Amino acid sequence: MKDILHILRLIWRKQRTSLIRGTALAVAVVAMGVALLGLSGWFITAAGAAGLAGIGIAFNVFQPSAGVRLLALGRTAARYGERLLTHDATLKSLTDIRVGLLRGVLALPFQTLSRLRGAETMNRLVADVDALDGIALRLFIPAVAAVVVYVATFALLAWLTDPILAAWIVLSFTVGVGIVLAWTARHAKAPSRRAEKALQAFRIRVIDLLRVRDDLVVYGRLPDQAAAVDTAETRMRENLDATDRLERRAGLLLALTATISAGTALWLGSALAARGTITPAQAALGFFATLALTETVQPLRRGLADLGRMLDAARRVRRLLPEDEGQPVPAQPHAAPRPVPTAPALDLAHILYRHPGAERPVLDDFTLSVAPGETVALAGASGRGKSTALGLAAGLIRPDAGQVLLGGRPLSDIPEPALRAEITYLPQRSALLGHSFFEMLALADPSLTEDRALTVLEAVALSSTVAGRGGLHAPLSENGAGLSGGEQRRLAVARALVRRPRVLLLDEPTEGLDRPTAQRVLAGIRETLPKAAILTASHRKAEQDWADRLIRMR
C-alpha cells in the first residue's frame, strides 16, 4: 500500500485545494442522501400516525416536504460540483504524473532505453496512469466521506432518536461493511492483476497485427496472428468476468449486511417505540437512515475490486518517477563554456566502461580523438564496444573512468540543450515521426525551409523517391511504413543532417543500401557537413573506405 499512498501524496500535493473542496462536496452528497431518505421515512410514518390518531389536519406537512425538496436539489447540485472538482483535479494531477513518467523514462540508462519497445512501453505507461485515477476517486475520497458521514450519523441519530439505537446502527453497519470490504480487497488482488495483464497482452497483439498486417498477408501468417488476437481477447474477457463476479459477490454481501443492519435497527426501534422511549416515526428515521448508508460503500466496492491493478500500476509508476517529482526543477545554466579553439572536436581519454552486471569491461583505457572535418570509422566484431563508444561520445552513458571532451570541454559542463545542439547521434534503430517527409525532417529543426529539406534529401539520394510519392508534403504512414528499409534509413540520416551538428555520430548509417547508393549517401554526408567531426561504427567496407582513419576494436 505504500506505493498507493505515495501516488496519493503526489495527487494531493498538486491539487490540494480542488481535492479538499471535492471531498467536502462528496461528504455533503452522502450526508444529504442519508438525511433525505431518513427524513422521507420519518415524514411518511409521522403523517400516517397523525392520520390514524385523527389529528392529521394539525400535522405540518409543509416543513418536512420543503426539507425533502431542499435535500434532493442540494444533493444534485453537490454531486455535480463534486464530480467536476474531483475529476478535474485527478486528471490534472495525472497529467503531471505522465510528464514525470516521461522524465523518468528518459533518465533510464541508455542500454535499458534502447531495449524498450516504443508501442509496448507507451501502452504500458498510459494504462498504468489510467489505473491510478481510482486511487483518489474510488478509494480516498469515498473512504473519507464514509468516515465523516458515519460519525455525523451517530451524533444526529443519538440526538434525534436514542443513543442505543444510534450506536447499534453505526456499529453494526461499519463492522459488517469493514469485514466485507476487507474480504473483497484480499480476494480481488490476483483476479484484477490477471485481468490487467490479459488486457495489455490483447492490446499489444492487436497493435502488432495492425502494424505489420501487410507483411503478415504476404507471408500467409495473418490467420495465425488473428487467432492469437482472438485467444488473447478470450483470456482477457475471462479475467474481466472473474473480476466482475467478485465485485457482484461483494455487492451481494454488502446488500445482506445493510439488510441485516436495517432489519435489526427496525426491530430495536420498534422495541424502543413500544416502551415509549421514542416515537414510531423516530424508529422509521433510524431504519431508513441505515438503508441510506449503503451509498457510502458503492464506490469503495468498485475501487477495491480493482485494487490489484492499482497496486501494480502504482509500483511501476513510482519506480519510474524521478525522486524529486513534485519538487521545483533546478534551473539549468544558460551559457555553455566556449570550445577551446586548438582542442579536438571530440576526445575520449582513457575510457573504462563496464556494462552493468558484466565481469569484464567492454572498453579499457580506450583513447580516441576526432578533429574538425575528420571522419573516423570504428570497425570490429559485434560486442567489441563500437556502439558503446558512440553512446559515451554522445553523453548517453557515463564512463566508469576517463573523460569525454567536446571541443576541450567535459560533457558534464555542457547543459543538455547546448550539448544536443552541438552533437547528433544516429543509432541503429531510429523512429520516424510525422505524416510527411517534411514533417519528419522538421522534427530536427522547426525552422526548416523547403529548399533546405530538398537539399538534404538530395544529399542522401532520396530526391527521386520524394518526387515519386508526390513531394515533400505527400502523406506517409506511421514510422515511414511503405518506404523500404533503405529509404527509411536514409530519411533518418537526412534528419540528422538537418541539425548541422559540429560532431556527428553514426551507427552503421548505410545498413540496407547497395554499395553505389551507400557511397553516394556517404559523399552527401560529408558534402553537407564539411567541417563536422564524424565518428561512425561500421561493418561495411564502403563506410570504412570512406573514413579518413580506421580504428579496429579488439
pLDDT value, residue 495: 92
Pick the CATH number of 346-552 from 3.20.20.70, 3.30.70.100, 3.40.50.300, 3.40.50.2300: 3.40.50.300
pLDDT value, residue 425: 92
Crossing angle of helices 485-498 and 515-528, rounded to 10°? 10
Q: Among residues 202, 209, 204, 210, which one has the least CA distance to residue 234?
A: 202
Chain Cα centroid distance, residue 15: 18
Q: Among residues 129, 141, 142, which one has the least CA distance to residue 196?
A: 129
DSSP string, 125-152: HHHHHHHTHHIIIIIIHHHHHHHHHHHH
Task: Report the relative pairing of strands 401-406 and 363-370 from DSSP bridges.
Answer: unpaired
DSSP SS3 for 512: coil
Distance between CA 169 and CA 261 in Å, rounded?
6
Residue 131 in contact with residue 98, Cβ under 8 Å?
no
Chain Cα centroid distance, residue 31: 34
pLDDT value, residue 324: 56
pLDDT value, residue 53: 56
Distance between CA 398 and CA 293 in Å, rounded?
59
Residue 418 in contact with residue 456, Cβ under 8 Å?
no
Q: Among residues 310, 305, 312, which one has the least CA distance to residue 187?
A: 305
Q: Among residues 452, 455, 362, 370, which one has the least CA distance to residue 405?
A: 370
Q: What is the DSSP letter of 479?
A: G
Distance between CA 161 and CA 174 in Å, rounded?
19
- Predicted TM-score (pTM) of this structure: 0.68
pLDDT value, residue 536: 92
One-letter amino acid of 101: L
- What are 485's three cell numbers? 528499409
Distance between CA 490 and CA 517 in Å, rounded?
10
Per-residue pLDDT of the chain (554 residues; tens, 9 = 90+): 787 888 888 888 878 888 888 888 888 888 888 888 777 777 777 676 666 555 555 556 667 788 788 888 888 898 898 888 888 888 888 888 888 887 877 777 776 776 666 666 777 777 788 888 888 888 888 888 888 988 888 888 888 888 888 898 889 888 988 899 888 888 888 888 888 888 888 888 888 888 778 778 888 888 888 898 899 899 989 988 888 888 889 889 988 988 898 888 889 888 888 888 888 888 888 888 888 888 888 878 888 888 888 888 888 888 878 765 555 444 555 566 777 777 888 998 888 988 877 788 888 888 999 999 999 999 888 878 888 888 889 888 888 898 998 888 888 888 888 888 889 999 887 878 888 889 889 888 888 898 999 999 999 888 888 888 888 888 887 777 778 888 888 899 999 999 999 999 998 888 888 888 989 999 999 999 999 999 999 888 888 889 999 988 87
First to last CA, the chain: 50
Distance between CA 420 and CA 444 in Å, rounded?
11
DSSP SS3 for 370: strand
DSSP SS3 for 477: coil
Domain assignments of the chain as residue spans, ordered by start: 2-320, 346-552
pLDDT value, residue 119: 61
Fold of 2-320: ABC transporter transmembrane region fold (1.20.1560)
β-pair partners for 251: none
